[in-house]
Amino acid sequence: MEKSEKIRILVVDDSLFMRALVSDMLNSDPEIEVIDTAKDGAEALKKIPQKRPDCITLDLVMPGWNGLTTLNHIMAEYPTPVVILSAHSKEGADITIKCLDAGAVGFVLKPSGELSLDIKKIKTQLLDEVKAASKVSIGKIKIPVAEKLTMPKRKILLKRKIVVIGASTGGPQTLESILPSLPYDFPAPIIIAQHMPSSFFSESLAEHLNEICELKVKVPENNEVIQAGTVYLAPGGFHTTLKLRRTKEDGRGMRDEASIVLVSVANDHPSSIALSPSIDMTMKSVAEFFNGNAIGIILSGMGDDGREGMRAIKESGGSTIAQDKSSLIYGMPKVVIDDGYADKTLPASEIAGEIIGIVER
């Protein structure tokens, strides 16, 4: 690859040592070139119009402007795809979710705090995130305002249905343009398998979505029985599936209820920790227990996680929807569409309406 074709990166971090480590990792890839570094947000803002980077890696904790303040300046003055380098803490997770809301494309978790001597552990993920972010059109980053929808007047839902959504990079932003559209009386449970590095980030995202949605959004507990009208955001670091259990209703005999099963990735599936929670595992479980009453949705993300899950839902008689080319990262949806596992291909702004239509059939 010629030098002129390389992805041009600006590295922003207050630590000289971390700037060097991150730059070395990025420069080791023949497709990437670190064109400059900046020690803080103010310096970064001066260099962006001069260097015109394709993508920026941005530390969260810096003197002066922190990462969120710096990001707000970047998106207001020189909109550029940004990948956040986040700390593994609840505070770091909260700020990271705010950064995604403010326009960051994705984030990578520093393995051991702000000064991560072992940062090379996340080299592959960082390279993948930067490459994907550099291809994102700035026009896609703005989150469309979700239109409030209502449920058609109908007394009885003829079949118990369930919605399962899979997403990765770009997913949190896309969820903001879908979930707030769903009304408070939505008559089905929703399970979301969103790739997250730890439960800290899942909890922060659930709290954020719960504030802007009429439906209750939460991270589920192990063995929790799923309820209609609740959104269950699978925790990072765990694969999430369903199991059926028989319960007795007062005077009405036995009925089957679906409950959440959380499986630690680190303990039982260490090779799949980067893709947790697994979209395929969650969707296959939903397809098995709900058959033709499952609605599968695949959103923005890299790779092909979700392809087999969407196939399972479609082959069991369920309905499937893939986000179209408006996806921030048109990777996972494209695979599902190309393989013929999507019944509908829609922009994020139309997905909520389609979900309501399917549930009411």
pLDDT at 9 over 80: yes
CATH superfamily of 3-137: Response regulator (3.40.50.2300)
**Gap between the Cα atoms of 271 and 237, Å rounded:** 12
pLDDT at 270 over 50: no
> Do the two domains 3-137 and 162-359 of this chain adopt the same fold?
yes
Tens-place pLDDT, residues 210-241: 999 999 999 999 999 999 999 999 999 899 99
Rounded (10°) angle between helices 199-212 and 90-102: 50
- What residues are paired with 264 via a beta bridge? 238
| Whether residue 195 lies in the annotated active site | yes
pLDDT at 155 over 60: no
Domain 162-359 carries which CATH code?
3.40.50.180
Q: What are the domain boundaries of the chain?
A: 3-137, 162-359
Which residue of the set 116, 168, 285, 316 is catalytic?
168
pLDDT band at 86 (very low <50, low <70, confident <90, very high): confident
Supply the pLDDT for residue 198.
84
Mean pLDDT of 319-344: 97
Supply the pLDDT for residue 151.
86
pLDDT at 117 over 70: no
| Whether residue 327 lies in the annotated active site | no
Supply the pLDDT for residue 249.
58
**C-alpha atoms less than 13 angstroms from C-alpha of 4 in its C-beta half-sphere:** 0
Tens-place pLDDT, residues 290-309: 989 999 999 999 999 999 99
pLDDT band at 109 (very low <50, low <70, confident <90, very high): confident
**Gap between the Cα atoms of 140 and 79, Å rounded:** 11
Residue 274: C-alpha distances to residues 54, 185, 282, 302 (Å): 25, 35, 16, 12
Which residue of the set 59, 280, 305, 324 is catalytic?
305
- Cα 252 off chain centre by: 41
User: Maximum distance among all alpha carbons in the chain?
Assistant: 74
Residue 119: C-alpha distances to residues 63, 144, 306 (Å): 21, 35, 28
Supply the pLDDT for residue 44.
97
Mean pLDDT estimate for the chain: 89
Supply the pLDDT for residue 251.
54
Supply the pLDDT for residue 92.
83
| Whether residue 168 lies in the annotated active site | yes
